[in-house]
Structure 1
Amino acid sequence: MTVQVNITPNGRMSLPADIRKRLGLADGGAVFLEETTDGVMLRTAAQAVAHARTLAKKFADKRDDATVDAFLAQRRKDSGE
């Protein structure tokens, strides 16, 4: 879905009410803006977390030491504990 949203002279823009409602932002809330080579992406907090988890899983699946326990063990080793 593509929707035109106007930006005021002071830089504000409004998301249409039906979109805010579908995204769970009817009572307000935060969105995360990501600038990409293709344009701008807006994500809700839940969408941003899901995206971050997907990226982390992509990299963690390739490494055996990509666990919290492995990370902490390496930190202890590096610090001399």
Structure 2
Amino acid sequence: MSMQRGKLVSGGRLQVPADIRKQLGLTDGDAVVMTVVDGELHVRPARAGLARARQRLRRYVPADMRLSDELIAERRKAAEHE
């Protein structure tokens, strides 16, 4: 784990060093998720949480199944019966 100093700049913005942004794959405008854990600020790319959720759900869904396709099929079937 690398530790570096960042800086709080005007408007409460956090200035993250370039090499940390590079390690996280962050570019200008990317969404991040921030949490406070035991008095510490944890920052991670928003896409990391999405990837983690997908990984957790994948164990319940067969590899050849797309949940979005299943949902669309269910919606179409429901619409036919309206």
Q: TM-score, normalised by structure 2?
A: 0.56
Distance 2:52 2:22 in 1: 25
* TM-aligned CA deviation for residue 23 of structure 1: 4.7
Identity of aligned residues (%): 25
Partner of 2:69: 69
Q: CA RMSD in A?
A: 3.1
Say if 1:31 and 1:42, in contact at 8 Å, map to a contact too. no
Partner of 2:56: 58
User: Which of 39, 42, 53 is the matching residue for 1:40?
Assistant: 42
Name the structure where strand makes up a greater proportion of residues.
Answer: 2
Q: Which runs of 5+ in 1 are unaligned?
A: none
**32 and 10 in structure 1: CA distance in 2 versus 1, 3 angstrom threshold:** same
Q: TM-score, normalised by structure 1?
A: 0.57
**53 and 22 in structure 1: CA distance in 2 versus 1, 3 angstrom threshold:** closer
Count of aligned residue pairs for this structure pair: 75
What is the correspondence of 1:13-28 to structure 2 with a 5 Å cutoff? Answer: 13-23=14-24, 28=27
